[in-house]
Amino acid sequence: MGKSSKDKRDAYYRLAKEEGWRARSAYKLLQLDEEFNLFEGVTRVVDLCAAPGSWSQVLSRVLIKGEKFGRAGWQDKQKNMRDYVLGGGEKKEMEEGKEEVDVEGEGEKKVDSTPKLTPREGIRIVAIDLQPMSPLEGVTTMRADITHPSTIPLMLKALDPDTYSPSSPLNSSPVDLVISDGAPDVTGLHDLDIYVQSQLLWAALNLALCVLKPGGKFVAKIFRGKDVDLLFAQLKIVFERVRVAKPRSSRASSIEAFVVCEGFCPPEGFMASLERPLGAGTVLPEPVREESTSSDAKKPEKKVTSRVREDGAIEIDLGDETDDEDDVEEGGRRWIAPFLACGDLSAYDSDATYHLPKDRVSLDPVQPPTAPPYKRALEMRKLAGGAYGKTKGRAEKAAS
């Protein structure tokens, strides 16, 4: 597929190049954040399977530079404009250090409406991938395998180079958020791809269990295969809230989705360990459920609450958040994770093809892969004289 054709068929691929993101995946994280407010109160993050680095770019721009995207960015802009237009705005802008600029010297004064940046203090971001990654401002990048136990101490050292002690590597729980967009090289054999993906997910989860702070968050890519319920049930034991989300930038035709787990709360006595990692066969202590004494005991009534959000919208919650009983199938054995589609409905549809303006120039990717797995294959093909040596053969024939 040519660049232009891909630009048409994949609006997020095109948008990523226009907006300076290394990969279209950036929009998945931004849309997840928009729905779940992932970065609230977060200062220490580990980005697993991070290359080429668009998720790390999001982290760097939101946490280190203090930029706002999506609804938050739009609200900020609106607020600036409102403050300016409604009395005293001009004075206030000047007080905040914003300058009035003379547009092209024509005497027409305009306020610079770029939103104020709110960088956070003490940010630590570590990004890990098998592939090398080009450097990013404020992000420590590591080339390592997330399935290997030796990666944890390396990662902890990268997070706290001055205070890390190898004698008690797991004594600290220094991370607020672990994100993982890990994906194997897809073979096209569905079951195999789902299996390998699930192994990556377990590796990411085990790593997260070793380093998350109580109350921490874990977000990871999943393929919704047939045994995905088991995963949700296990996640529910170590996190207060587990939801599955499909951002609008993730193609509807793909089985990809993301688990968003909040409120890390390991059961009493649970010790995370990479030597005895959590996996499909692990039996974890189950949360105690109170047995109902009478068979016709009535279900507690749902608490319907409403609140007015900052942006004026009224949010109605149809049930107590801690009341997960509704999501448990009869018999109480199977817990069903709530599924949410996220991303603004007015945002691009990742499955649609869009017309491009005639005079449009197709851009190159922001960050071409530094050492893609196919590089060696291309080199070998070149040595053999072109596409599987066919070109060489033809060229020799033509010369003779």
Catalytic residues: 221
Closer of 50 and 233 to ligand SAM (Cβ) = 50
CB of 352 to ligand SAM, least distance (A): 22
Closer of 194 and 200 to ligand SAM (Cβ) = 200
CB of 50 to ligand SAM, least distance (A): 5
CB of 125 to ligand SAM, least distance (A): 13
For residues 234 and 259, the answer to whether their CB atoms sit within 8 Å is no
Strands 124-129 and 256-264, how do they pair? unpaired
Closer of 200 and 208 to ligand SAM (Cβ) = 200
| Interaction site with ligand SAM (CB under 6 A) | 22-23, 25, 49-55, 128-131, 145-147, 181-184, 200
CB of 363 to ligand SAM, least distance (A): 17
CB of 356 to ligand SAM, least distance (A): 24
CB of 176 to ligand SAM, least distance (A): 18
Closer of 73 and 372 to ligand SAM (Cβ) = 372
Closer of 111 and 274 to ligand SAM (Cβ) = 274
Closer of 16 and 231 to ligand SAM (Cβ) = 16
Q: Which of 88, 87, 110, 107 is nearest to 99 (CA)?
A: 110
For residues 228 and 222, the answer to whether their CB atoms sit within 8 Å is yes
- Beta-carbon-side half-sphere exposure of residue 65 (alpha carbons within 13 Å): 14
Amino acid (1-letter code) at residue 267: P
Burial of 139 (0-12, 13-18, 19+ CB in 10 A): buried
